[in-house]
Chains A and B, each alone.
Chain A
Amino acid sequence: MIVHARLSAIKGIKLHEWIIRFVFGGAVCVVAGLIAQRFGPVIGGFFLAFPAIFPASASLVEAHEKQHKAGAGFDGTSRGRIVAGIDALGAAMGCIGLAGFAFVLWIWLPRAGLAQTFILATLVWLTLSIGVWLLRKKRVLHR
C-alpha cells in the first residue's frame, strides 16, 4: 500500500479527543521540566522520550477502527485492537528515528546553532524512521 494522507480523516476527530492530546502533551512537557529541575538533566532527559501520550493515542486508534467497523455493521473490537497493535509497531520503528534525533542533539548542540541542530536532527529522525519502515515493508527486517 502506498503512503497517502487524507485531510478528511481529521474531521472525524471529536473535540474532547483534541483536548485529551493537548492536555497530555502539555502536561508531559511540564512534568519532564519539573523532573529535570528536581533530579537533574540525566534523569530529566529520559522523560523527553516518555510515551505519555501513547495510551491515549492507542485507545483512540482502537475506538476509531471499532466505530468504522460498527458503521459497516460489524463488531470491530478485535480489528480495532489489531490496528492499534500495528500502530504501536510503527511507533516502535519510529523510536529508532527518535534515538537518532537525540543523538544529533547530543553531538551537535554544544557545537552548532539551535536552528541548524534542530533541522539536522529532524531530518535524521525522518530519514531513519521512514528508512526502517521501508526496510520492514520490503521484508528486509523479517525473520
Chain B
Amino acid sequence: MHHEIGELLARFLIGGIIVSFFAMLAEMVRPKSFAGLFGAAPSIALATIGITIAGHGKAYAAIEARSMIFGAIAFLLYAACVSRMLIRLKARALTATIALMPVWFAASFAFWLVVR
C-alpha cells in the first residue's frame, strides 16, 4: 500500500516537473510552429517508463511502448484536426481542443482493435 502511494507520488512529481520543463521550452522558442513540436514531447513516457521498469520489468514497458506508437499516431490526427479548426474556423482553443478529444479516443480504440 505504502509502496503504491509512493509510486503514484513519484509519478506525479516527476511527471509535473518534466511536463513543465517541456512547456517552458515551448514558451521560449520561436517560431510558434517549432515551439509546437514540444507539445508532442515524450514527457509522460520519460517520466514514467523508468518507474514502470522498476515495478514490472523491461518486457512490460516495451509492450507499453508499442501501444504508445499508435497513441502518437492518434495524437497526430487529433492535433491536425485541432490545428485546422483553429486556423480555418477560428474556434476558441479550449473549445476546439476539448471538443476534438474524441478523435484521439476513436483513433486509439481503432488501433487497439487491430493490435490487441
Whether both chains belong to one complex is answered with yes
Taking beta carbons and an 8 Å cutoff, which residues of A are in contact with B? 1, 3-7, 9-10, 13, 18, 21-30, 32-34, 36, 41-55, 57-59, 61-62, 78, 80-99, 101-103, 105-106, 109-110, 114, 118, 121-122, 125, 129-130, 133, 136-137
Beyond A30-B11, A82-B90, whether A50 also contacts B64 by CB under 8 A is no
Q: Chain A interface mostly helix, strand, loop or mixed?
A: helix
The minimal Cβ–Cβ distance linking B57 to chain A, given in whole angstroms, is 9
Beyond A54-B39, A90-B36, whether A49 also contacts B75 by CB under 8 A is yes
Tell me, in angstroms, the Cα distance from A89 to B42 when the chains sit together.
17
What residue in chain B is nearest A93 (Cβ atoms)?
B37
What residue in chain A is nearest B87 (Cβ atoms)?
A85
| B108 CB contacts on chain A under 8 angstroms | 46
- Tell whether, in the assembled complex, residue A42 and residue B67 are in contact, meaning their CB atoms are under 8 Å apart: yes
| B67 CB contacts on chain A under 8 angstroms | 41-46, 48
| A93 CB contacts on chain B under 8 angstroms | 33, 36-37, 40
- Tell whether, in the assembled complex, residue A89 and residue B47 are in contact, meaning their CB atoms are under 8 Å apart: no
Beyond A50-B44, A103-B69, whether A109 also contacts B62 by CB under 8 A is yes
| B52 CB contacts on chain A under 8 angstroms | 33, 36
- Tell whether, in the assembled complex, residue A4 and residue B30 are in contact, meaning their CB atoms are under 8 Å apart: yes
The minimal Cβ–Cβ distance linking B65 to chain A, given in whole angstroms, is 4
A-contact bits for B82-115, CB 8 A (1 contact / 0 none): 1111110011111011100100100010011001
